[in-house]
Amino acid sequence: MELLDRVRATTPLVHCLTNSVVTGFTANALLAVGATPAMVDLPGEAGPFASVADAILINLGTPHAAHRDAMLEAVQVARTHGTPWVLDPVAVGILPIRTALADQLRGEHPTAIRGNASEIMALAGAGSGGRGTDATHSVADAQHAARTLAHSTGGVVAVSGPTDFITDGDRDIYLGNGHRFLTTITGGGCALGAVTAAFLAVHDTPLLAVTGAHMVYTIAAQRAADKAHGPGSFQVAFLDELATVTGDAIVAEAIIS
C-alpha cells in the first residue's frame, strides 16, 4: 500500500493537541506506524510549532482553558500554511464547553473529522451526543449527518463503528475491518485521529488519505486481536502490528466497498 510506505519513508511530524488520558498511547501509535509525534499544547507555543508541523490533530477529550486557546492558535496557523488537520469532537453534544469549541472549530474547515456516530451527529446539529465517549447511535444513523457535515466543512468525515463510514459528501466508503478490542483500551479512537493526520500529511486527496489510515489501523487491530488474550496483550500486539504490517497485507485483507 503506497500510502503506508510514504508515511514510513517521510516520517511526517504530527502536532497533537490531544487529551491528557491518551498522550502516551497516541505517541506510540504514531511512532509505530512511522510518523513523528509532538505534544505541544501551550498557548504561545502551539502556533509557532504548528507552522513547522506536517499535520495537526485537535482532540477535545480534556479541553482545559489553556488547551482550548492553544487549539485555536494552532488551527489558525494551519489554515494560513495550508497544513492538514483533523478534528476529533470527543463527547460533544452533552457537554457545553467542548460543544461550543467544536462548533467554532468546525467553522475553521478541518481537513478531516472523525468520531463515533453520536459525536458526528451532534457536531452536525442532528443529535444531542452519546453517553460520554460511548455512542448511542449506529453508524447507519449518522450517515446523512456525516455527508451534511462534509459538505458544510469541505472536509472528509469518518464515522467509526463495526463498519466504518467515510465520506466527502459525494463519495461514500465502507470499511469492515477492525476488532472490538479497540473499544476496550484507552485511546483506541483518539490514536486513530493522529494516524489519520499522518496519512493526510503524505497525500493531497483527503478521502484517500483518511481511508488509507483507517484501513491500516483497523487491519492492524484485527491482526493483533488474533494474537491477544485480552485488552492488555492486545495493546502491545496492536503497536507491533502497526509497526510491521505490510502494504501487501493491507490490500489483501481490506474489506472495502
Q: Residues forming the annotated binding site?
A: 39, 114, 160, 187
The dihedral through the CA atoms of 44, 47, 52, 57 has a sign that is positive
Dihedral angle of Cα 219, 241, 189, 254, to the nearest 10 degrees: -10
Please name the residues in contact with 81: beta carbons below 8 A apart, sequence gap of 6 or more: 50, 51
Rounded distance, CA 158 to CA 181, Å? 19
Which residues make up each annotated binding site for substrate?
Answer: 39, 187
Positions at the binding site for ATP: 114, 160
> Cell digits for 2?
503506497
Q: How much is the CA Rg of the chain, to the nearest whole Å?
A: 16
Measured at the alpha carbon of residue 244, what is the angle toward residues 242 and 249, in degrees to the nearest 5? 90
Residue 178's region, left for phi above 0, alpha for psi from -120 to 50, else beta, is left
Nearest-angstrom CA–CA distance, 134 and 189: 11
